[in-house]
Amino acid sequence: MVRLKRYIALATTFVVAFVLTTRAARPYSLSVLGTYGYNTTWQHFGGGELKAYMPLNANVELEAAFEGLSSNVYTASATLRPKFAVPVGEMFVDASVLYKAVQRNRMHNAAGALSLGYRMDYVSLQVGCFTQMWADYGRMWNSEEEYVIDALNVLYRLSVNVRPLCERWNIYFGVSDYTELEYERMWQPIFFLGAYYDFPPSSNFEYEYNAASHFRLLAEVLCKPTGMFHLNASFYGAKVKVGFAYKF
Amino acid sequence: MVTDMKRFSSNSVQSGIDYVRSIVRFMLFWGVLLTCSCNRLDVVGMFYTESAGSDERFAQSQEYNSTHGFDTVLVAQDNYRVYIMTDIHVDNTTINLDTFTSAYLEDADAAPFCLCLGDLINGKGYQPKFLAYVDRIRAAGRQVYCTPGNHDIYFGQWNVYRDYWHTSSYYFVVQTPSGLQDMYICLDSSNGTLGAAQRAWLEKVLQEAGTAGYRHIVCFTHTHLWKKDQSQGHTSNFALEETYDLADLFSRYGVELVLQGHSHHRNLTRFKNVLYLRLDKMQDHYYNSFYTILTAGTDFSWQYVAVGPQHEGYNEVKIEGR
């Protein structure tokens, strides 16, 4: 056991050293978003989301997000994303964990996901699996109560951009059964439509600090129907997020 | 949402367009094929429901409830047996339904009511076949309490369901010889949600039940809350928000047992001091079809009764009793 711990410590040291000494390809960014939503269970709710994007080196990214909602639900998530270029586009692997404190209903909800993605200028496709666990706040260790653990779900995300990724603004739309802040069961799709806009530099001097060029405007609408695979689809809820990202 | 700004090779543009084209072609092909060839699955229902929505169905149910009230059923013993069937999916044959009906009517000690947890029929037009058996049970002086499943509602069949059953959100009270009372609440989850109005009604009913001194409060509905195995197939669950909410609601107001169908396979989950019992299908021509006999006494116990061929060892799954 002690030997195993040493191996783990050594491996961790190497990974951290590798990550810290290789050069990141893109700048860090921090996003702040305001949220308004409605669903038939929580009715109207609002909140905020904070999201950090941290490229550790040219091939590894880390994303972390936190969301607090007025419906008394708080979510934190983290994603580690190794990625590598292929002749056309880019492939990536997402390893994600999520924790949701459902304070209003006094329960924990945690999820873990692993997926493989392929991204091109216009289309991004991601397929993998995830599972989630539910537990009561008041559960005692010796209780008859169970942790409810979902069977493995298929994770999917198909996103289409109307312009190539390199453009200053873009609109994207698609379908997925997850976002960075929730993992729905596989037959409960979430439809999304979003856009971003990068402010142009405010000056022609290349080496001058351009505050505007560091900002990106973000907006996204997420819509969740219910009963699609009951063959009785109807509207369940929607969420609108608007905010900005600052690229360091 | 901060996406990579790196420009991929120029080939990627054409490649992306080709990729989207291939997806569209695939979807068109299967969409047209399904729409033309399938009279068992309401493909249009993927996008909207031809039946009334959950709030409208609830309003119609309440309209009936307000004029007809809620039943009280007298049973002969404090420990009574309730026959339960779910996911019968009647189409061309009624073999298992016939077996169930005969067994129930021959059991003189059974409670004078049985439960049906939805998916009575498999597709449009089979209601009369199922209802003939309900009429047979009613003719014997017994009652069937039913909740609709998704198969009973799609193809715009809500009106057909409503014409016979009148209501899909209601409760009834079982009174035992010792004066004990059990409450059974039927919830309509046939399109994967209770809807806002039915959810509010449920909380109000449970609040009132909390002061009435019921021995047991039992809820029954079609869609199940938990997805602990892969038995579910390609059908929806409740949305996450509603799953959190219902699990908490049942727990807070002392619901002891929630009976569910939909996945066609049995499962037992205990969460927040509530027992969720998901039952086997009773569909013809499939392995592992069962009905369930629930005994309600001081506590609950149940047994599964096979009505068709079984896979070896299936009935030995150790989740019987409590």
State pTM to two decimals. Answer: 0.87
- β-pairing, B80-85 vs B72-74, is unpaired
Q: ipTM of the predicted structure?
A: 0.87
pLDDT at B24: 73
Is B15's Cβ below 8 Å from some Cβ in A?
yes
Task: Tell me the nearest-neighbour CA distance from A149 into chain B, angstroms.
Answer: 6
What are the pLDDT digits (tens) for B100-116? 999 999 999 999 999 99
Q: DSSP character for A201?
A: P
CB proximity under 8 Å: B 148-167 to A: 150, 153-154
In Å, what is the CA distance from B170 to each residue of A136, B64, B187? Answer: 29, 10, 7
Q: What mean pLDDT comes out for the span B238-267?
A: 96
Task: Show Cβ contacts of residue B101 under 8 Å, excluding neighbours closer than 6 positions.
Answer: B133, B136, B137
Gap between the Cα atoms of B27 and B47, Å rounded: 15
Instruction: Give pLDDT tens digits for B35-57.
Output: 554 567 788 888 888 888 999 99
Which residue of B lies nearest to A33 if distances are taken between CA atoms? B1
Digit-coded pLDDT (tens) for B56-76? 999 999 999 999 999 999 999
CATH architecture of A25-247: Beta Barrel (2.40)
CB B19 within 8 Å of CB A161 = no
Instruction: Give the separation between CA B183 and CA B188, rounded to whole angstroms.
Output: 17
Question: What's the whole-number mean pLDDT along residues B221-236?
Answer: 87
Contact B196 A90 (CB under 8 A): no
Query: How far is Cα A123 from Cα A191, in angstroms, rounded to an integer?
Result: 15
A184/B46 touch (CB, cutoff 8 Å), yes or no: no
CA dist B20 → A116, A169, A170, B81 (Å): 19, 21, 17, 57
Contact check, Cβ <8 Å, B241/A89: no
- Report the helix count and the strand count for chain A, using DSSP H and E: 1, 15
- Confirm or reject contact between B20 and chain A (CB < 8 A): yes
Strands B216-220 and B181-186: parallel
- Helix or strand (DSSP H, E) at B204: helix B195-210
Higher pLDDT, B88 or A209: B88
Residues in chain B closer than 8 A to A152 (CB atoms): 230
Query: In sequence order, what DSSP letters do the residues of B51-84 get, joined into one string?
Result: S--HHHHHHHHHHHHHHH---EEE-SSSSEEEEE
Beta strands in B42-196 (DSSP E): 72-74, 80-85, 110-116, 143-146, 170-175, 181-186
Mutate to test the interface with A, among B34, B42, B157, B193 (most CBs of A within 10 A): B193
User: Which residue ranges make up each domain of chain B?
Assistant: 8-37, 50-316
Across the interface, of B2, B41, B226, the residue whose CB is closest to A53 is B2
Contacting B residues, span 257-276, partner chain A, CB-CB under 8 Å:
269-273
Between strands A73-85 and A60-69, the pairing is antiparallel
Q: What's residue B43's pLDDT?
A: 83
pLDDT on residue A4: 67
The span from the CA of B218 to the CA of B16, in Å, is 54
DSSP code per residue over B246-279: HHHHHHHTT--EEEE-SSSS-EEEEETTEEEEE-
Give the one of A31, A148, A234 whose C-beta lies nearest to B53's C-beta: A234
CA distance B191 to B196: 13
Nearest residue, CB atoms, B13 vs list A121, A158, A185 = A121
The number of C-beta contacts closer than 8 angstroms across A and B is 208
Structure token digits, residue A211: 């505050």
- How far is residue A195 from each of residues A28, A162, A175, A177, A212, measured CA to CA in Å? 20, 10, 15, 19, 18
Name the strand (E) or helix (H) holding B219: strand B216-220
Whole-number average pLDDT of chain B:
88
Q: Nearest Cα to B151, choosing from A53, A118, A160, A230?
A: A230
**Element of type H or E holding A65:** strand A60-69
- Our CA dihedral for A194, B5, A127, A191, rounded to 10 degrees, sits at 0
CA distances from A77 to A52, A62, A218, B240 (A): 11, 11, 19, 17
State how far the Cα of B292 lies from the Cα of B100, in Å rounded to an integer.
10
Q: Which of B47, B229, B240 sits opposite A184 (nearest CB)?
A: B240
3-state secondary structure of B200: helix
Which residue is closest to B251 within chain A, CA to CA?
Answer: A105
Residue B21 above 70 pLDDT?
Answer: no
| pLDDT tier for residue B2 given thresholds of 50, 70 and 90 | very low
Contacts of B12 in chain A (CB under 8 A): 88-89, 120-122
pLDDT band of residue B13 (cuts 50, 70, 90) is: low
At a CB cut-off of 8 Å and minimum separation 6, what does B283 contact? B87, B88, B89, B96, B264, B289
User: Which sign does the torsion angle of CA A165, A171, A177, A179 carry?
Assistant: positive
For residue B48, what is the nearest residue in chain A, using CA coordinates?
A: A233
pLDDT at residue number A18: 56
Q: State the smallest CA–CA distance between residue A143 and chain B in angstroms.
A: 10
Q: How confident is the model at residue B319 (pLDDT cuts 50, 70, 90)?
A: very low
- Mind telling me how many Å the CA of A15 is from chain B's nearest CA? 24
**Percentage with pLDDT > 70 across chain B:** 86
**Across the interface, do B247 and A134 touch by the CB < 8 Å criterion?**
yes
Handedness of CA B2, B6, B7, B8 (dihedral sign): negative
The pLDDT score that the predictor gives to residue B78 is: 96
Closest CA to B155 of B7, B50, B33: B50
Pick the residue with more confidence: B53 or B258?
B258
Q: Least CB-CB distance to A150: which of B4, B12, B227?
A: B227
For residue B168, list chain A residues with Cβ-Cβ distance below 8 A.
none
**What share of chain B in percent tops pLDDT 90?**
72
Domain B50-316 in CATH 3.30.1240.10? The answer is no
- Measure the CA–CA gap between B254 and B47, rounded to whole angstroms: 36
Q: Mean pLDDT of successive 10-residue segments in chain A (248 residues)?
A: 69 62 70 97 97 93 97 98 93 98 96 97 96 88 76 95 93 96 94 94 64 88 93 93 94
Which pairing describes strands A178-179 and B257-260: parallel, antiparallel, or unpaired?
unpaired
Assign residue A230 a region: left if phi > 0, alpha if psi is -120 to 50, beta otherwise?
alpha
Chain B interface test: which of A172, A177, A222, A230 (most B C-beta within 10 Å): A230
